[in-house]
Amino acid sequence: MLYTITSQESIAIIKEEMGSKAKEVGFGILKEYSFKEILQEKGYPIERDIFVFELCNPVAAQAALKTHPEVSVYLPCRISLYERDGATVLSTIGIDEILDSFDLDSEFKSHMKNIFSNLKKLLGSWK
């Protein structure tokens, strides 16, 4: 249910490039979270840097929400960024299983798969 790639690029470089590369494929960053900082502030520290970016493609969001408000539970799109076993990991929710869980017309499914293709292209830009 996850789409994951690994990269040899550093977390710092990916964080720095995320905004411009997201824009190239039609997304903008709404928010960035550092779970290490959030949990530290709440008294539950973790050692690993884990970042989550919330991304939005406003054209796709409008099209989806106008006709299928139930998909709002999966919005905005999120990308997780962390290190594991010496590699940088980028991950997002896989859309195929999600789309199959809703009663959606084939045209809408095709549109959403195209949007997900752009999200995969974004992650793959650091492969």
CB 91 within 8 A of CB 14: no
Q: Measured between alpha carbons, how far is 87 from 71 in angstroms, rounded to an integer? A: 32
pTM of the model: 0.91
CB 52 within 8 A of CB 40: no
- Sequence ranges of the domains in the chain: 2-124
pLDDT in tens, the chain (127 residues): 899 999 999 999 999 999 999 999 999 999 999 999 999 999 999 999 999 999 999 999 998 899 889 889 889 999 999 999 999 999 999 887 777 777 778 888 888 888 899 999 999 999 9
Evaluate whether the domain defined by 2-124 bears CATH number 3.40.630.30. no
Which residue, among 67, 54, 53, 55, has the nearest Cα to 109 in the 3D structure? 67
Q: Measured between alpha carbons, how far is 101 from 83 in angstroms, rounded to an integer? A: 31
